[in-house]
Amino acid sequence: MDCEEPESMDEIIYYTKRTLEPRGRVTAWTKKKQCPRCERALMGKPVEKGKVKIRATTYECPACGYTEEKKEHEESLTLCAAYTCPSCGKEGASSTRYKRKTHQGVPSYVVTCEHCGHTIALTKKMKEPKKK
């Protein structure tokens, strides 16, 4: 999957921009994927009465109506990240599966720096890693 920055928020499922201590930053996103059946539209959550169903358990193609279960669909997506590493200070880009892993006791998306191998954890907002 290409890791180009999205042009609009309509083509992504997940987006975050964070500052990392002491001197790093990260921008991460997950793009929607094409419908595997018709390949004409991007898969998204179902729309009911003109509004997107927020807690939907399926993803749906707006063109042909094809549906996929949420878990199956999200496991096939890729999280892309552009970052400045807080450890070595170099800029880089990386990608990983769109699946949260437990990192220091907190569910987070984990990206590895391509220069020094430092792990960059994208936790849910306001979650602090456990202290040893």
3 state DSSP class of 94: strand
Q: From 104, 69, 88, select the one nearest 24 (Cα to Cα).
A: 88
Q: What is the pLDDT of residues 31-54, one digit of tens each?
A: 999 998 888 899 999 988 889 898
Give me the percent of the chain exceeding a pLDDT of 70: 97
Q: State yes or no: pLDDT of 58 exceeds 90.
A: yes
Structural domain boundaries in the chain? 1-32+77-132, 34-76
pTM, entire model: 0.83
Strands 51-52, 58-60: parallel, antiparallel or unpaired by DSSP? unpaired
| Residues 6 or more apart whose Cβ sits within 8 Å of residue 41 | 34, 35, 61, 62, 63, 64
pLDDT score, position 1: 45
Q: State yes or no: pLDDT of 71 exceeds 60.
A: yes
